[in-house]
Amino acid sequence: MKLDPVLVEIFFHKFTAITEEMAITLQRTARTTYVKEAGDFGTSIATPEGRLFAYPTDLGVSGFLDSDVGPALARIEDLEPGDVVITNHPYDSEGLSTHMPDLHLIKPVFVDGRIVAHGWDFIHSSDIGGAVPSSISPRFAELYEEGFQIPPLKLVRAGEMNRDFLTLYRANCRMPEENLGDIEAMLAALRVGERRIRELVALHGVDTFLQAQKDLAEYAAEKALAVQKKIPDGTFEFWDFLDDDFNSDIPVRVRCAMTARDGEVHLDFTGSDPQVEAAYNIPTGGKRHPWLTLKLMHYVFSHDKTVPLNHGMFDHVTVEAPLGTVVNPEPPAAVGVRSATAIRLNEAIVGAMTRAEPELMPAPSGGIMIPSVLVEQDPGGARKVMVLQSLVGGTGARFGADGVDGRDSSLANQRNTPIEKTEEEAEAMITDYALRTDSGGAGRWRGGTGVAFSVRVVQPGSAVLGRGMERFVFCPWGAAGGKPGSKAQVLVNPGTNREVELGKLDIFYPEPGDVVTILTPGGGGYGDPLERSSELVGEDVRFGYVSEESARCDYGVVLVGGTVDAVATEALRARMREVRGPFKEFDFGPEREAWEAVFDDATMSELNALLMQLGTNVRGRRRREIFNRVIPRLSEGAVVPLHERVGDPAPARRRIAEEIARLREDLAPRAAGD
Amino acid sequence: MARYRIGIDVGGTFTDFVLVDMAETRLEFHKEPSVPDDPSAAVERGMRALAEGFGISLGDVELVVHGTTIGLNAIIQRRGARMALVVSKGNRDVLELARLRLPSSYDFTAPRESPLVPRDRVFEVGARMRSDGSVAEAPDAAELEALAAELRGARVDAVAVMLLNSYRDGSLERTVSDALRAALPEAQVSESSTIWPEVREYERCLVAALNAYIQPLMSGYFRRLEARVEAQGVAAPIYITANNGGTLSVATARERPIETALSGPASGVVASTRVGSVAGRAQLITFDMGGTSTDISICPAGVPEFTASTEVGDFPLMMPVVNVSAIGAGGGSILWVDAQGLLKVGPVSVGADPGPVCYGRGGTVPAITDCYLVLGIIDAARFLDGRMALDVEAARAALGGIADRLGFTGPHRAREVAAAALRVASAKMAAEITKLLAQAGVDPRRYSLLAYGGAGPTHANLLVREAGVRSVLIPTAPGTFCALGAILADVRRDYVRTAQHLIGPATVLDPAANGWPAIEALLGTLEREAAAWVSREGSLVGAHDFVVSFNLRYPSQAYELTVIVPMELRDGLNGGTVARLFHEEHHRRYGFSDPATPVQTTTIRLGVIGKVAPVDLPAAAAGTPEPSGRRGVWHDGRSIPVDVYPRSGVGAGALVRGPAIIEQADTTTFLLPGWQARADRLGTLCLTEDAEDTEDTGATEAPQPAEVDPA
């Protein structure tokens, strides 16, 4: 650090205040609910090179700290004072925008002909055109279905609004006036940012202002490195699965090999599945990227709350994200629901860190976010669309602490919808919104429970919809001897003789009187459940987080009349220790074990390497054919547990070997011809 | 003759008293050490001290107004009642799930709030309403009996009842709670629809639960307080300060103790707006800097601003309270150096015990107060009027330790560290103020910082330079300002109803869809209820006024705005007028509006203000300030000679030029070089830069949006 340590500290507070004042201005003056209520926006200030050197502590979306506005600006040849650049293009911005509803603005701040910083902000706009209202659907395969593409271009040119662009924009989205209101708010926030930057430059001079950016980044890098040094040296591999890619029933694998050396961390995502023909691809430009490094940032911040939020946090992180995979797709692959894949990717990183040192990270959370929606039709036929609830699972347990029940800050950390607000709009009644007993993974520290949410439909012609339906096939795994959390489920009329399991809910048309119940997953458990103190297990039973039966079967704790029978518990635990199998560092549940009995890491890596040699135009179809031939029952869907669909692994292993051999044969002439 | 009023504010270290002589327009102040185990003991002692010190007969007291933080402390420290919660079937986890949000998105170690009622004392009952106000499910006598038996088994002292949709109609909740009252006569029962019938089950549940949680404790305290005050020969009624800046009779406070939990900071803002208006400055940032934290409130219009989304402890509170934000910076904020060698201030505080190093009570970690002392801003011998000698050497040594870690060398290293720490503290506080101003959408240059609390006047001038604020007001008795606010307040209570109706002028709304007649009827009901209540609040209460406000939104949008109906529009109010006010407010805050659409009401609030004969603030005597001494103060890297003035000498109209120190028993004001302080009619100091106009700059102007740039 070149500046004195007092000035650096003062700049830290002033820089942060600029980003927060921008955030408040944006949110206060924005028009749409996405921005005003859900807080789906971001504000920051970037170095002349394009890296973010300050970030709001608790305003807007927290995850975009590692963004780089440089590539978008590099596409503008004649940047001049008074310009504002706009883009939503996942590929042309090299991953600054990660799906097209996100509109990004960048405003360079010139002082004496020289750029000293950039203001940056983004919003999730309500609609950017495309084939469905709100522009996002998992079924989309190409960017062209996802809406209006805006490569980096000037929204404002030397202080003059680009009216031609606005005309084009208006013609290409469903609610242009509201969105333009949000753009106005973004511009207002950028003006606030620029004014504050100019004040600081006037007070301290350009050189000090630029040096402070560097010093703070260096400071963050030092702090992050100190935390990363807790990771033992070595290479640690882990992978996790999305249930499927919506357009097929084939699980999507994300693989991470983390190499740590004296605090330097390299994340290699080689071996992740090829990009999918659905909207689950994460556009990263193949470089260090917020979606790839988010979990490391959570790790660093959780272990040192004084680290300033700036790009320096990532100075000691490098990544490898091969082109053509789900973590670095080629255009025009669709990207709308990239967040679902990012959750699994985060869990792969958590797993790799846990392999390195189990005490560093919590077990995975429920890992889903379901905006459940109700459509009602009044007798006149008018349709009303209402959000019923934003449903998440519980958080994972970690060394020293149980998970949090029914909440999950690791995703969007949004607020729920009060039952009374829902019922103000809807005729239907919310009959249950409660913690889901026994869903948290058992462990010395228990995973947080999921949630049980039930709605009783009243009107004929109603529909219940859900997005983000994940963890129906694979459970949130348990760590360090802990058990997995329960999977998600959707049931109709549970506990009656008309009970039906729906599997993954897309859209369902219930009859009046039907109760639709959504059960969200619990977080993974941590540590050996037999080591959880029997008093704590007794308390869990008294509070209803755990049933008496689970206390006995999973924890070896015997309760009599609500109190722990110490002698019986001791005996039972001794017996359970004797009969159980070897210690499992991770417990993935029977579904993943069955799947990997066929598709183990070596097989998947081999298969993926071969598939990557096929052109993108035929790769997807071939991949589907292979999986469906190897597992004929795969397409029966999530209602049938995956281990049942896989069946006996031995013949399936033979089939996959044959498929790989055939694929190799098919590719051979091609390789020979090259 | 009944001529005296006494305002009392209980703080952690001191209990503050203000005595008003209504006959002679005289104010007296007193500080008494607090008795944390029984705050009423300090009240008793202080009243005796008032009687002796100022030669008054306590029999001549006509009114006692009391502010207490007992409720707040019980909530923060979880020392409230053993209680149960009764909810509708399927809603058992209303407190467990809360609003889902956890305190941090980055930090997976940040814990959730610990629930007010453990899950095994939450009971479901087959009772709930529909959103249209009809009963969906009602319990029979057997079910209620079974519930009562369960509660009895849980051995609880208090019960809260919250049934879904009971904000529409509280009769089902009352049926349940009446049955419980009959079955458990020893427990106090709060039902949500009686305390605060507003939509949103989690927040409404908390209002009822928090009320129940502190009720047994507060009832006991009020009983002791009344007994002790009465034993002093005081026959006057006691009023308790409320979160909304008003006061309540003890009887009401006993029923609704949650309304008093956040009253302390509210009283300070009440006093601020009163003193600000005499000084001709309506647009205020109130700045109450104490030992562990600082309370800040933005007042754009010369009256306290309200908010319905604040926190009490870890919990949201949906009732209207004076909008005060607390930041974790105060005289006790510690200085430390992190592993990378940066100087940090706070957020940890040394607390009252052991306190800063200079208190000599065993503290070894230097705090902001040590910095004031080492810089020469406060005087070791005259702190708290000389009642507590401060140890400069110890403070200097502790700051020297910080200097070593920062790599500061040379003879002035302790003072350089102290100055640096004040710069860091100012930058942090200025950042918080900037955010609050941005939220309100106002421009700091039009605002005056009204500074009080022990450290407020000391730090104010340093802070405003950072925050872009151009003037500072310092009242005559900054150390007992909340007690003054208590005695200046009227009786006030707020009422709420949730009612979704469309309103607007006939041009945009079909008469059949017009919800205004329903709202008018509702307002009438509320006014009758409020008038009946205020008439029972005591004989000192004279005429009453109503304040009407609406939460409104465009039907297509989820977010709401609060619109307060100005007094002059209350007569003949109609839906078109309310809609117009909404469009205007929407345009002012957000820069756009849509007058062609009808507007939807969501929440209707009625405040009733029972007027108490007003206290006139006494004029200050004229006086020409004479320095009582001079000392060196470290400022901008060197020691400068600074004249020291006793505050008592700075009379009405007097002018002091900086650099200067103005000392009084409860605080020290630091006036920077290039600034001046002028005392107004009441003796309030107004600090401005020499070049600035000292006349009123903002009293009559409307608040301005932050965005003043044309492009």
Question: What percent of chain B stands above pLDDT 90?
Answer: 80
For residue B102, give the chain A residue with the closest CA. A409
- Residues B507-534 have a mean pLDDT of 94
- Residues A494-506 have a mean pLDDT of 92
What does the alpha-carbon distance between residue A576 and residue A530 come to, in Å, rounded to a whole number? 8
Q: Which of B376, B404, B423 is the last residue of a domain?
A: B423
- Cβ of residue A177 closer than 8 Å to a chain B Cβ: no
The ipTM, to two decimals, is 0.92
Contact B101 A409 (CB under 8 A): yes
The pair of three-digit structure tokens given for residue B211, joined into one six-digit string: 């009320």
Interface test with B, best of A409, A455, A547 (most B CBs within 10 A): A409
Q: How confident is the model at residue B36 (pLDDT cuts 50, 70, 90)?
A: confident
Q: Which pLDDT value is given to residue B445?
A: 87
Domain span holding position B87:
79-218
Q: How confident is the model at residue A479 (pLDDT cuts 50, 70, 90)?
A: very high
In a domain, B429, yes or no: no
Place of tokens 């300002």: B481
- CATH number, domain containing residue B143: 3.40.50
Contact B500 A219 (CB under 8 A): no
In a domain, B690, yes or no: no
Interface of B with A in 457-516 (CB under 8 A): 500
Whether the pLDDT of residue B704 is over 50: the answer is no
- Cβ of residue B339 closer than 8 Å to a chain A Cβ: yes
What is the helix, strand, coil percentage profile of chain A, to 5? 35, 20, 45
The pair of three-digit structure tokens given for residue A34, joined into one six-digit string: 């996405």
What does the alpha-carbon distance between residue A188 and residue B589 come to, in Å, rounded to a whole number? 13
Q: Which pLDDT value is given to residue B11?
A: 83
- Cβ of residue B329 closer than 8 Å to a chain A Cβ: no
The sign of the torsion formed by the CA atoms of B296, B299, B304, B305 equals: negative
Q: How confident is the model at residue B360 (pLDDT cuts 50, 70, 90)?
A: very high
- Residues A29-52 have a mean pLDDT of 89
Write out chain A residues lying below 8 Å of B557, CB-based. 33, 36
Q: Which pLDDT value is given to residue B486?
A: 96
* Residues B248, B155 share a domain: no
Taking CA atoms, B123 is separated from A420, B89, B103, in Å, by: 19, 9, 27
In a domain, B662, yes or no: no
What does the alpha-carbon distance between residue A646 and residue A630 come to, in Å, rounded to a whole number? 9
- Cβ of residue A81 closer than 8 Å to a chain B Cβ: no
The pair of three-digit structure tokens given for residue A604, joined into one six-digit string: 């998947």
- Cβ of residue B134 closer than 8 Å to a chain A Cβ: no
What does the alpha-carbon distance between residue B645 and residue A228 come to, in Å, rounded to a whole number? 55
Q: Spell out where A563-656 has E strands.
A: 563-564, 586-587
Q: How confident is the model at residue A673 (pLDDT cuts 50, 70, 90)?
A: low
The pair of three-digit structure tokens given for residue B619, joined into one six-digit string: 């004029």
Contact B107 A298 (CB under 8 A): yes
Whether the pLDDT of residue A262 is over 60: the answer is yes
- Cβ of residue B587 closer than 8 Å to a chain A Cβ: no
Taking CA atoms, A643 is separated from A590, A646, B662, in Å, by: 6, 5, 80
Least confident segment among A10-14, A661-665, B188-192, B693-697? B693-697
- Residues A524-538 have a mean pLDDT of 97
- Residues B123-128 have a mean pLDDT of 98
- Residues B139-149 have a mean pLDDT of 97
What does the alpha-carbon distance between residue B95 and residue B97 come to, in Å, rounded to a whole number? 6
Whether the pLDDT of residue B711 is over 80: the answer is no
Q: How confident is the model at residue A196 (pLDDT cuts 50, 70, 90)?
A: very high
Distance from CA of A33 to the nearest CA of B (A): 6
Mean pLDDT of chain B: 92
* Residues B352, B241 share a domain: no
- Cβ of residue A429 closer than 8 Å to a chain B Cβ: yes
Interface of A with B in 142-161 (CB under 8 A): 159
Quick one: A520 exposed, middle or buried, by C-beta within 10 A (0-12, 13-18, 19+)? buried
In a domain, B294, yes or no: no
Are the C-beta atoms of residues B554 and B582 closer than 8 Å to each other?
no
The pair of three-digit structure tokens given for residue A513, joined into one six-digit string: 């009187």
In a domain, B483, yes or no: no
Contact A419 B201 (CB under 8 A): yes
* Residues B245, B179 share a domain: no
What does the alpha-carbon distance between residue B266 and residue B278 come to, in Å, rounded to a whole number? 19
- Residues A647-661 have a mean pLDDT of 96
Region at B453 (left for phi over 0; alpha for psi -120 to 50; beta for the rest): left
In a domain, B527, yes or no: yes
Distance from CA of B201 to the nearest CA of A (A): 6
Contact A37 B101 (CB under 8 A): no
- Cβ of residue A20 closer than 8 Å to a chain B Cβ: yes
* Residues B231, B174 share a domain: no
Distance from CA of B24 to the nearest CA of A (A): 49
- Cβ of residue A382 closer than 8 Å to a chain B Cβ: no
Write out chain A residues lying below 8 Å of B91, CB-based. 419, 433-434
* Residues B157, B132 share a domain: yes
Place of tokens 């996405």: A34
Distance from CA of A434 to the nearest CA of B (A): 5
* Residues B26, B105 share a domain: no
Taking CA atoms, B417 is separated from B392, B408, B458, in Å, by: 15, 8, 18
Q: Which pLDDT value is given to residue B702?
A: 38
- Residues B575-582 have a mean pLDDT of 95
Q: Which of B588, B611, B634 is the last residue of a domain?
A: B611
Count of helix runs (H) and strand runs (E) in chain A? 17, 24
Contact B131 A192 (CB under 8 A): no
- Cβ of residue B281 closer than 8 Å to a chain A Cβ: no
Q: Which pLDDT value is given to residue B696?
A: 43
Contact B427 A418 (CB under 8 A): no
Structure confidence by residue, pLDDT tens digits, B227-269: 999 999 999 999 999 999 999 999 999 999 999 999 999 999 9
Q: Which pLDDT value is given to residue A602?
A: 96
- Compare CB distances from A6 to B203, B424, B435 and report the shortest one's residue: B424
What does the alpha-carbon distance between residue A418 and residue A423 come to, in Å, rounded to a whole number? 9
The verdict on whether omega for the bond into residue A332 sits within 30 degrees of 0, i.e. cis, is: yes
Are the C-beta atoms of residues A54 and A43 closer than 8 Å to each other?
no
The sign of the torsion formed by the CA atoms of A108, A110, A114, A118 equals: negative
- Cβ of residue B113 closer than 8 Å to a chain A Cβ: no
Q: Which pLDDT value is given to residue A670?
A: 67
Structure confidence by residue, pLDDT tens digits, B196-225: 999 999 999 999 999 999 999 999 999 999
- Cβ of residue A126 closer than 8 Å to a chain B Cβ: no
Buried b (16+ CB within 10 A) or exposed e, B106-122: bbbeeebeebbbbbebb
What does the alpha-carbon distance between residue A12 and residue A6 come to, in Å, rounded to a whole number? 10
What φ, ψ does residue B26 adopt, rounded to 5°? -130, 140
Q: Which pLDDT value is given to residue A379?
A: 80
Structure confidence by residue, pLDDT tens digits, B674-685: 999 999 999 999
What does the alpha-carbon distance between residue A158 and residue A78 come to, in Å, rounded to a whole number? 10
What φ, ψ does residue A376 adopt, rounded to 5°? -120, 150
- Cβ of residue B179 closer than 8 Å to a chain A Cβ: no
Q: Which pLDDT value is given to residue B328?
A: 85
Are the C-beta atoms of residues B628 and B657 closer than 8 Å to each other?
no
Quick one: A79 exposed, middle or buried, by C-beta within 10 A (0-12, 13-18, 19+)? middle
Mean pLDDT of chain A: 94
Domain ranges of chain A: 5-223, 230-360, 369-528, 589-673
Whether the pLDDT of residue B709 is over 80: the answer is no
The pair of three-digit structure tokens given for residue B359, joined into one six-digit string: 């208190």
Q: How confident is the model at residue A425 (pLDDT cuts 50, 70, 90)?
A: confident
* Residues B119, B59 share a domain: no
- CATH number, domain containing residue B592: 3.30.1490
* Residues B125, B33 share a domain: no
Whether the pLDDT of residue A295 is over 80: the answer is yes
Contacts with A384 (C-beta within 8 Å, 6 or more apart), sequence order: A375, A376, A377, A378, A425, A426
Q: At what angle do helices A601-611 and A616-630 cross, to 10 degrees?
A: 150
Domain total for chain B? 4
Q: Spell out where B430-540 has E strands.
A: 448-452, 471-474, 491-503
Place of tokens 């639960």: B209
Distance from CA of A508 to the nearest CA of B (A): 23
Q: Which of A322, A314, A366 is nearest to A343 (CA)?
A: A366
Are the C-beta atoms of residues A529 and A554 closer than 8 Å to each other?
yes
* Residues B227, B130 share a domain: no
Q: Which of B168, B195, B218 is the last residue of a domain?
A: B218
Q: Chains A, B: CB contacts under 8 A, how many? A: 196
Cα B414 from chain centroid (whole Å): 36
Contact A14 B101 (CB under 8 A): no
Are the C-beta atoms of residues B611 and B541 closer than 8 Å to each other?
yes
In a domain, B677, yes or no: no
Q: Which pLDDT value is given to residue A616?
A: 79
Place of tokens 């025009």: A332
What is the number of other CB atoms lying within 10 angstroms of the CB of residue B616?
10
Q: Is residue B207 within a helix (H) or strand (E), and if so which, with residue range?
A: helix B201-231
Q: Which pLDDT value is given to residue A133?
A: 85
- Compare CB distances from B558 to A33, A298, A401 and report the shortest one's residue: A33
* Residues B123, B51 share a domain: no
In a domain, B142, yes or no: yes
Structure confidence by residue, pLDDT tens digits, A130-142: 998 889 999 999 9
- Cβ of residue A509 closer than 8 Å to a chain B Cβ: no
Q: Which of A360, A451, A358, A371 is nearest to A404 (CA)?
A: A451
Q: How confident is the model at residue B700 (pLDDT cuts 50, 70, 90)?
A: very low
- Pairing between strand A264-268 and A317-320? parallel
- Residues B393-413 have a mean pLDDT of 95
How many residues make up chain B in this entry?
A: 711
The verdict on whether omega for the bond into residue B659 sits within 30 degrees of 0, i.e. cis, is: yes
* Residues B65, B126 share a domain: no
- Compare CB distances from A406 to B89, B96, B423 and report the shortest one's residue: B96
Q: Which of A421, A300, A327 is nearest to A33 (CA)?
A: A421
What does the alpha-carbon distance between residue B587 and residue B576 come to, in Å, rounded to a whole number? 17
* Residues B131, B62 share a domain: no
